Structure 1
Amino acid sequence: MPIQKIADAELWFDEYGDDDARETVISSAMGFAGVGYPEGLAEAPSRYKVYTVQARGFGRSTRPTRPPSEGWLAQWADDVVAFADARGIDRFIYTGASHGAGIGWYIAMRRPERLKAFVSVVGAPHDRYGVTDSSEGRRAVIEARMNGDVDTVRGQLEVLGGWLHPDETERRARRDAFLDGAVAATMERDDDESRINQGMPFPEAKTNEALAEILKQVRVPTLMLAGMRDGIVSPEASLRAVMSVRDAKAVFFESEGHFMTQEVPERLIREVALFVDEINGRAEPTARHDTDRTKVDTI
């Protein structure tokens, strides 16, 4: 992965797809698997140019000596825009999952002119239940990692992934293998990385009603992909977000949880390709028996 220098940091990134692709996508997070979502957006049917940017504080990106004063999510959002500036990218589609989606909410709020669209995957702002500095799950994972408590880390990740039916035996095996890798990656992070708590988007909103008022300010074409079994972002949180963001679209997957980007990337990619075609005016309209919409049936 190459390094992109910005004003006060260096960002480790990777790129996929052709330079002359019809759309440019940027995603940022603690790290990326190199396969799945969003990397797969560079392949058919979407064939976009995709940049994955490792967030400041992780991997080979710049390691701050202290948390940014404006908060991690806001800092990472600024870094994405600075990355786009450095690469000569004017407008782009931003997508992120979980904390990566939190970055997108800040770009959409602070720099909407830079976004052609925003795709949030399992990343609607969390329910407000009295604590707004971070999710309970994130705090538990940090504490368990610092204590070397592998079982608690695995238990928290299991909750995030969502429950499975007893007859989903093949899926159970795949989930167990995924969790083995996720636990190993968590335990292998160094202490500086492990202590980073990105917090919740918009912690100034202390109630769900206040959060909805903030989300109503977003004026970017927004797609939300949500898992009904998600153990950290509730279906209610995703529903609140889509009801608040003007002209937003949401797709809810009953069978999925928080790990959709790795477990079912192809389903996400199809939805993103459709959404981008819709905002570009290329999607086929829904077939109607009567295409004259001026007619009104009466009894």
Structure 2
Amino acid sequence: MILSGALYFHTFIPVLEELAKRYHVYGVVMRTGGEGTELNADGSVYWGRQWGKEMYDFAEAMGIEKFHYVGKCHGAIPGWYMIKEHPKMLETFCSFYMTPHLCPRNSEQWIEIPKKEGPMGMLK
């Protein structure tokens, strides 16, 4: 089972089509409007957490207990949410593009930290 989130899928369809040859794939379009339950201090929607929560809610509603998550660009953000908030649901996580945007790092640190501390070291 693979879940993938995106603001749009047109540039990612070939990847998901290949994955769908071997897995059951759900492509979830992440919304960018409307009310949310995950809010910033000023009352605006905290979209990163909102997308992650909605991906979690989708998996729960579908009865999906464990899955692989694949995300591209902003679509990777729900995967990082899942790692932090619901790690037991993830079989694996694959992030394409410029994520994570969690902490400033130099290029060597992106390689060395996971070697020394495992993937959770990237969240420090």
Q: TM-score range with shorter-chain normalisation?
A: 0.7 to 0.9
- SS class of match (1:38): helix
Opposite residue 31 of structure 1, the aligned amino acid is Y
Which residue number corresponds to residue 112 of structure 2? Answer: 243
Which residue number corresponds to residue 42 of structure 1? Answer: 20
Which residue number corresponds to residue 34 of structure 2? Answer: 64
- SS class of match (1:31): coil
Taking only aligned residues, the RMSD between alpha carbons, in angstroms, comes to 2.5
> Separation in 2 of the partners of 1:114 and 1:123?
24
Which residue number corresponds to residue 4 of structure 2? Answer: 27
> Separation in 2 of the partners of 1:243 and 1:81?
30
Matches within 5 A, 1:84-163: 84-126=59-101
Opposite residue 117 of structure 1, the aligned amino acid is T
What is the number of residues matched between the two proteins?
Answer: 111
CA change 1:84–1:243 in 2 (3 A) is: same
> Separation in 2 of the partners of 1:82 and 1:67?
12
The TM-score with structure 1 as length reference comes to 0.34
> Separation in 1 of the partners of 2:37 and 2:63?
28
CA change 1:241–1:67 in 2 (3 A) is: farther
8 Å contact 2:37–2:50 — kept in the other structure? no
CA change 1:98–1:79 in 2 (3 A) is: same
Structure 2 residue runs without a partner (length 5+): 41-45, 120-124
Opposite residue 29 of structure 1, the aligned amino acid is A
CA change 1:67–1:86 in 2 (3 A) is: closer
CA change 1:110–1:244 in 2 (3 A) is: farther
Q: Which has the larger radius of gyration?
A: 1
Identity of aligned pairs, percent? 32
Matches within 5 A, 1:1-299: 24-33=1-10, 35-43=13-21, 47-57=22-32, 63-65=33-35, 68-70=38-40, 71-126=46-101, 202=102, 205=103, 208=104, 236=107, 239-245=108-114, 246-247=117-118
> Separation in 1 of the partners of 2:110 and 2:81?
14
Higher relative contact order, chain-length normalized (CA < 8 Å, sep 6+): 2
> Separation in 1 of the partners of 2:54 and 2:29?
10
The TM-score with structure 2 as length reference comes to 0.75
CA change 1:92–1:242 in 2 (3 A) is: farther
CA change 1:124–1:78 in 2 (3 A) is: same
> Separation in 1 of the partners of 2:111 and 2:23?
25
CA change 1:64–1:109 in 2 (3 A) is: same
Structure 1 residue runs without a partner (length 5+): 1-23, 58-62, 127-201, 210-234, 249-299
